[in-house]
Structure 1
Amino acid sequence: MKRSTIIVSVLLVAVIAAGGGYWMGRGGGPRPAPTEGASAAAAPAPAKQTYTCSMHPQVRLDQPGDCPICEMPLIPAASATAAAAGEAPTLQLSEHALAMASVETVAVEPRPLARELRAVGRIEYNESSLATITPRVDGYAERLFVNFTGVEIRKGDHLAEVYSPELLVAQQELLIAVQAGNAGEALVNVAKTRLRLLGLTDEQIARLVDRKQTTDRVTLYSPISGTVIEKSIVEKAAFKAGDALYRIANLDSVWVYLEVYEYDLPWVRYGQRVRVTAEAVPGRTFEGMVTFVQPIVNEQSRTIRIPVHIENKDHALKPGMFVTASIDASLTAEGRAAPTGVEGKYTCPMHPQVLTETDGACPICEMPLEQIPGDPVKVTEDTSVHSADAHKHEAAPAEMPSLATKYFCPMKCEGEKTYDQPGRCPVCKMKLKEVPAKAAASGGAGGVLAVPVAAVLDSGTRRIVYVEKARGLFEPRELTLGPRAGAYYPVLSGVSAGERVVTRGNFLIDSQFQVTGHPSLFYPGGLHATMGHDHGQATSDAKPAQPGATPTESPTPAPTGGHKH
């Protein structure tokens, strides 16, 4: 009995001791109220980690697992928050991420933009040199001097002898008036005028008066020199007034109608020099000038016809020949063809191939010449200077001291690639040279502000580039571009001179913007704003925009193998 009493006493003491120790560990009494400073110093609760699919960024889950759409493993993703109102979203990449993505950037700078525009065309008649031989009376073709097409004729050559009762009566009226003497002088002038209007020349009328004898056959003469391209009359055939007997074209000059696609139209301008070659005339190049740009687009071929005037004194170029043409064109800052040197000269609105240095009358139609607007010297100087205001973005480019000095290979072994540190080119081992500093306030005297084609992401409806604001910090910019010039686009608006754009790795950067729900190439308003529904158990964890918030690279990089598109 005593033994059991002792055991119970020992257990009771142990329990009491354990309870006392627990009470002493809790502080032994009531705790003081927390101070205001201690409450402020308490850290906020960490944000909930979300997970997304690299192939379907609209999927947002709060637990790891597989994508409900493609069953790929989900990866951690930052919350899809946007920048403050009026600010563009940015992305910060670490040095490791930059190396893994092989990101390369180049500076936006002015450069001369030019290209050789090549087009195909066809030789056709100079429309202003065509003439039709048309009788003004009814009659019969008694004899044809030109009885087949292709004959070369000169102005004043005889074409045909015709018999016309109306012409015979008009001749008799003239002779009767002449016989009347001074009393019939007025009638003589009237009769001569009538014969002249019926198609007789002054020489034919004078011969009729001298001989005082009518002739039943009257000869028709050519009004111009050229080639007979159509003949619609045969001997002994009757014709009516107004019938086209012959059609004549002067081939001393011809037109080349070039077929230029509508997207190449900004490169074409009146007065440009054109080089033309034809397979039928090997080893010879013909020079011409753009005289007109037709205002109609061919709906089937989507091309515009450009007439080019070419002198063809030896008739080497034949209508119907196919030719190849090239135009050396350059661009202005507005994305249009540069002045051609004809500005300030005088031309005829009806005959644009006429160019003179002084004012006067057109030698073809005698219309007053008009001065071509523009000053080539002034325009050239203006187009070589690009104000920063003309390419100003909503926010001024940030200062980037770390990017002030870049180095490049003088042999351009890797294109426009630049290096952060001096050294030697990894390809040719030449010593790298320092990239000269560019003033952001001026485009300089190098040409047109341009970005490389590799820097532009094009969705078909919008074009964007990614600008490096600081080392590893990127911002999307939507651009307005001019026509492509080789490996560059002229910039009409969106970036300024001196800013650096991504030329390699830009698609990966855009993908990261898309994964985090920020505005990207195909989702200008952000992915989650564009998607109006969820897939499977996907939920959106988008939080209200925080000023200065920027998307960051994912803690765990997306898997690179096993699923490729």
Structure 2
Amino acid sequence: MKKENIVYIGIAVIVGLLVGYFIFGGKAETASMDAHNHDAEIAAEEMWTCSMHPQIMQPEPGSCPICGMDLIPADANGEGLAANQIKMTENAMVLAGVETLVVGSDVQGDDQIKLSGKVAINQNSDAVQSAYFDGRIESLSINFEGEEVRKGQKLATIYAPALVSAQQELLTAAGLKSNQPQLYNAVRNKLKLWKLSDAQIDQIENSGKVVENFPVYANVNGVVSAIMVEEGDYIKTGSPLVKVADLNSVWAVFDAYENQLSQFKTGQVMEVTTTSYPNEKFKAKISFIDPILNAQTRTLEVRAELDNKKGLLKPEMFVQGEVEVSKMENAEVLTVPESAVLWTGKRSVVYVQPDGNSPIFELREVELGNLMNDVYVVHSGLKSGDRVVAKGTFTVDAAAQLQGKKSMMNQDGGKTMTDHEGHMGMSSAMKMEFSEKAQNMFEQLLGSYMKLKDGLVASDATQVQQLAKEGVEVAKQMSTTDMNDMAKQHLAIISEKLTSISKASSLEKQREDFIMLSENMIMMGNQMKGLNEKVFVQHCPMADNNKGANWLSLDEEIRNPYYGDAMLTCGSVVSTIN
């Protein structure tokens, strides 16, 4: 019995093992195969991108061909996202400095509206010195516009044939004044109508000589704002000679939007400031509100009168005015930071983060009102509680353009451009366009950049500051040339970084700003139709705390601007711009 039991038990164990294998082993193998196939499918679909250059898309990990940074997994092809939505990686958000905030009713009660404008001549005190008789300008006693004149000062000398005849009549009538006083008085009055004074008439009468050239004197104190004649010109009665402006009182002329009209009234007090005197505040009163709206700009003129006895304010000087607005009782005002708004023509857009825990952003058009303390009043497009991108808005929009999504510059979304080999490149909305003059100016800007780079290689912070100042001036000149909005945005960043470098006294700060300066120079250089010299894009993997950084060089030989002599030859050429 014991042997039989042992046999039965053994058979049962074997059967149990076989059944267990067929039941669970098969499922495990199937599950293993499924898992393997699933992983293979994920691996097949996974794409890799660069956190600094999201236009780079590769099917396998490696280094970014632009900056050399390690590629990171890209999001799956954006399935489930609307045309106006974009998804960014957490790493890209950190590098771009993206910050969000929840909008709400931050402004209510008394506050200010900020207006931008210019100083203008007060036309109420702008005098035009005119000719009172026909004649010829023999000489001018004023030499240039801006010259200060005093009331009674001689402005010009005029030869007037009619005055010569009138003087002869005076001398004749003077001998007959006892017999014909009415004739004598009529001749004197005639000369007075031509603005000759009693003293001048008496002098002619007493001397018995005819004066051929008559002086013209200033009627008011002020500054010559326009000289309207030249020596030798023939003039008619009433012809303007010079304009004299009294700058003791000037106007500040502002442009206000039509939706701000209800906030202004004549006599309202405002505070005016200017960048020329940042510590000075000028009090003014609104003296005029234009009743006619400019149909093109949808703005109207608001004019305030300023006391300028100190002579600090000059015509055409830029000024900013702050006006107190009326109290808004029982009214909540939804606001959004000025930095969150992107403007393009008549459109203004923001980026909203629907879910604060997900890096998905949605383009939203908004209708804005007054600018108060660096925030805009929102009329439509947002509701209280919406989370918007407050910093890094342009970077988010640039990423949307690169992915062919709706963006500030592209209302319908754009396709991604590919080169002749089919490689994915920059979206059409990111394309920069330059006039021939702008391309020539970029050559000069590139020259300034190269000198700046050499200064960093030499680790000479003082020289770098001076070279950056020169670069700022070149960038300013380039900004006056024709280019599209995308090019202007990159040029603005270049100018900003050059300005920052010019103010930084430490090499560490200068080299930190040089990273972003170089990236924008590379992006702009890559879209130039042709440069006079081949430019090498070089990369140091250790710069920027081992994140890697690029720079441009005219020499293929590595001279590292981020470390100088410490690691002079650290780096490699990653691409060229022909």
The TM-score normalised by the length of structure 1 is 0.40
The structure with more helix, counted as a fraction of residues: 2
Higher RCO by CA contacts (8 Å cutoff, separation 6 or greater) = 1
TM-score by length of 2: 0.39
Instruction: Tell me which structure has the larger Cα radius of gyration.
Output: 1
